[in-house]
């Protein structure tokens, strides 16, 4: 990743919380049209309220980043599980109006480099089966499906593809 690209990626801060919640809502409504909005809103409030986001920004072994190009257009949440040697991308979202501009790829590359810094050998993530566009994109980035498990948003249960990409120490 070139320094010019990474300059837009920074750690999420408390001042970003309102913008992060709106970014999540906007991207979820766009990507998850197969889930009722009331379930999306419930999940957002249950897991990404101001209080939860403030706690999340202070959580040990989790890191949150934003793509800031004057306004927040991307969000990424990473989890480092040393006990099980698992580095996970919990979320990676880019506003629909900013998709196709390489922001997602920059965030993903940043995550892989971050994982390498902490000596992880692979990156895992989950993507809903019905979110075909994202599943295909991750496959195009070198991720392979290694399993499936249920994921619940409110009253809606969907299948989550568990994907993995092996990365190498440099």
Q: Is residue 102 part of a domain?
A: yes
Average pLDDT across the chain, whole number: 92
Q: Is residue 74 part of a domain?
A: yes
For position 59, which CATH number holds?
Answer: 3.40.630.30
CA distance 99 to 119: 30
Q: How many domains does the chain have?
A: 1
Which residues have a Cβ under 8 Å from the Cβ of 167 and sit 6 or more positions away?
112, 115, 116, 120, 121, 122, 123
Residue 169 pLDDT greater than 70, yes or no? no
| Host domain of residue 53 | 3-120
Residues, the chain:
170
The pLDDT of residue 29:
97
Judged by average pLDDT, the poorest of 2-6, 23-27, 83-87 is 2-6
Q: Please, which pLDDT band fits residue 116 given cuts at 50, 70 and 90?
A: very high
The pLDDT of residue 165:
96
Q: Is residue 90 part of a domain?
A: yes
Residue 2 pLDDT greater than 70, yes or no? no
Q: Is residue 163 part of a domain?
A: no
Q: Is residue 20 part of a domain?
A: yes
Extract the runs of DSSP E, i.e. beta strands, from 69-121.
72-81, 86-94
The pLDDT of residue 78:
97
Residue 42 pLDDT greater than 90, yes or no? yes
Q: Is residue 125 part of a domain?
A: no
Contact 107, 90 (CB under 8 A): no
The pLDDT of residue 7:
75
* Beta carbons within 10 angstroms of residue 160's beta carbon: 18
Copy the structure tokens of residue 50.
Answer: 């101001």
Give 46-49's long-range contacts (Cβ < 8 A, gap of 24+).
48/20, 48/21, 48/24
**Residue with the two structure tokens 């019905």:** 130
């Amino acid at each position: 990743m070139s320094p010019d690209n990474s300059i837009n990626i920074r750690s999420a801060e408390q001042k970003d919380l309102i913008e992060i919640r709106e970014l999540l809502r906007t991207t979820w409504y766009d990507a998850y049209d197969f889930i009722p909005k009331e379930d999306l809103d419930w999940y957002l409030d249950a897991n990404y309220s101001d209080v939860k986001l403030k706690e999340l920004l202070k959580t040990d072994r989790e890191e949150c980043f934003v793509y800031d190009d004057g306004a927040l257009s991307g969000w990424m949440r990473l989890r480092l599980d040393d006990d099980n040697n698992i580095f996970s991308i919990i979320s990676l979202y880019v506003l629909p109006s900013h998709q196709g501009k390489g922001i997602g790829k920059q965030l993903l590359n940043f995550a892989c480099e971050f994982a390498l810094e902490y000596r992880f050998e692979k990156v895992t993530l989950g993507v809903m089966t019905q979110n075909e566009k994202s599943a295909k994109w991750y496959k195009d980035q070198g991720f392979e499906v290694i399993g499936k498990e249920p994921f619940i948003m409110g009253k809606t249960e969907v299948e989550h593809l568990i994907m993995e990409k092996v990365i190498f120490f440099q």
